[in-house]
Amino acid sequence: MDCTHQRPPPEHTMQVQERKAQYRLDSRPDDATDNLLASPQRNDIVSIQPSPHVVSMPPPSYGSIDKKEADVGVEGSTKSRWLYAVAASIAMGLVFGAAMDMGKVTLPLVIREQFIFKRFIMLKMFLGASGSSAFFIAILSIIAPREFEAARTEFMGCVEGKGIFATGLGAFILGCGMALAGSCPGMVLVQLGSGVANAYITLIGGLCAGIFYGIAQPYFLPLFPIAQIQTLRVEELPLFSSLKYWQLAMIMFAMLAIVVVLLEVFFPWESSTELPSFTQPWKSALPPELMGVFIGMNQIPAILFIHDTLGSSSAYMTCTSQALVTSSLQERFIHWSGFRTGLGNIWQPVYLAAAIIGALISSTGTGTFGKAAGVTPAEAFFGGFLAILGSRIASGCTSGHGLSGIALLSVKSILAVPLMFAGGILVGYNYDYEDPMGYRGNLMQ
């Protein structure tokens, strides 16, 4: 993908296509590919090597945009694969929307107070979803190794071109946006479905960030190779080289489960200090960690039918790139236009649209629709903008790095998540110190 607005040499393009053919399933662009085309010597790119700790399988073939896409271990036509993938995306979105709403993690007050450690609903669900993702993906790595390795390679391909600096900076910006908007890239769609005030403005801010990044992405390229690391997977570290992926993933699951249990012991989810005043436990709200498990289960159909893992922020690029209707625009904004078509791009918008419906069904069924207060319009817009901008710089959002990256034992994701929380904590504590009424007081009314 040409991100310098200058066509690369034909032989270089063929090298990139061959590289993508070896490791990629779908046509979703990533900044690693952009770097490959922007840097003919490719000195700033880490080469993805098949992990020695998984079952060795022949590399999947790659289908470019508008051409037949490869099926990994699944017989059938492109049409049937699309059918299964879209159906899986809808089902996953419905579960995601309903689970997030029932766990009440999407309320702006809950998110903002998590960053100043006044409520722990968000952390419980986040750790529950990350831990259960690790558990289910570990199982899939044993019983469906081809699909697992394809999905893991897809994820690693999206982060390989980003050094620690870009990954950490993007995650930090994402966290700042989350504290400001009381939302995140996937969560805002659930807020729309559950009637949170000004959620649509957060969405508009995110879409504007998608447009901005689509236009300005080439100017971010110098940041990407800074502090690049050779190790992408935890099991490639010398300390863990004797262990297989599934063993390390189960250890991750156990560690996160212990933290969730401790949080529940000290901060029971049913207490009045945790749940919002308009909710009732077991009627209009369910344990957030349990809802996190349902979200983690979404990794199963994602890997089996889409050959990918959960994520949200790419959907903003896919939606905004539909404006590039002429060939001249597509040629000018190669990176951005790469999100326009292909199963690897389309499934996320379908998934998030279904999440709106899932949250709507859940919130209306429990009588909580429209009861949660929202942040101000300015906070919603700029918070949404920062959240998507940070996600694109980091090549992952709270779902991508936080749920999937942690579960896939991505070294960069494990470094990114603490920085994401650091951004939220910094904004949260400073805002609450300067204006506690503005940060959380108005959201309690």
DSSP structure string for 401-436? IIIIIHHTTBHHHHHHHHHHHHHHHHHHHHHHHH-H
Task: Quote the CA–CA distance of 380 and 383 in Å, as a whole number.
Answer: 5
| Contact yes or no for 47/155 (Cβ under 8 A) | no
Q: Which of left, alpha, beta for 73 (phi over 0: left; psi -120 to 50: alpha)?
A: left
Stretch 343-354: mean pLDDT: 96
pLDDT value, residue 230: 82
Q: Which of 50-59, 95-104, 209-218, 280-289 is predicted with the least confidence, judged by mean pLDDT?
A: 50-59
> Euclidean distance between the first and final Cα of the chain, in Å?
49
Query: What are the pLDDT digits (tens) for 28-81?
Result: 454 433 433 333 332 333 333 444 443 333 333 333 334 334 444 444 568 888
Stretch 111-134: mean pLDDT: 97
Stretch 329-337: mean pLDDT: 94
Measured from the Cβ of residue 253, the count of other Cβ atoms closer than 10 Å reads 21
pLDDT value, residue 25: 37
Query: What are the pLDDT digits (tens) for 216-273?
Result: 999 999 999 999 998 889 999 999 999 999 999 999 999 999 999 999 999 999 998 9
The pLDDT > 90 percentage for the chain reads 78
pLDDT value, residue 249: 97
- The chain-wide mean pLDDT, for the chain, equals 86
With CA atoms as reference, report the closest residue to 5 among 261, 215, 196. 215
SS3 state of residue 12: helix
pLDDT value, residue 79: 84
| Contact yes or no for 191/363 (Cβ under 8 A) | no
Stretch 310-330: mean pLDDT: 95
SS3 state of residue 281: strand
pLDDT value, residue 29: 52
Q: Quick one: DSSP state of residue 4?
A: S
| Contact yes or no for 402/420 (Cβ under 8 A) | yes
Stretch 403-415: mean pLDDT: 96
Question: Residue 382 pLDDT > 90, yes or no?
Answer: yes
Stretch 181-205: mean pLDDT: 97
Question: Residue 6 pLDDT > 90, yes or no?
Answer: no
Answer yes or no: pTM beyond 0.75.
Answer: yes
Task: Quote the CA–CA distance of 393 and 163 in Å, as a whole number.
Answer: 11
Question: Residue 103 pLDDT > 60, yes or no?
Answer: yes
Question: Residue 106 pLDDT > 50, yes or no?
Answer: yes
The pLDDT > 70 percentage for the chain reads 82
pLDDT value, residue 40: 30
| Contact yes or no for 162/232 (Cβ under 8 A) | no
Query: What are the pLDDT digits (tens) for 299-318?
Result: 999 999 999 999 999 999 99
Tokens of 315: 């959907």
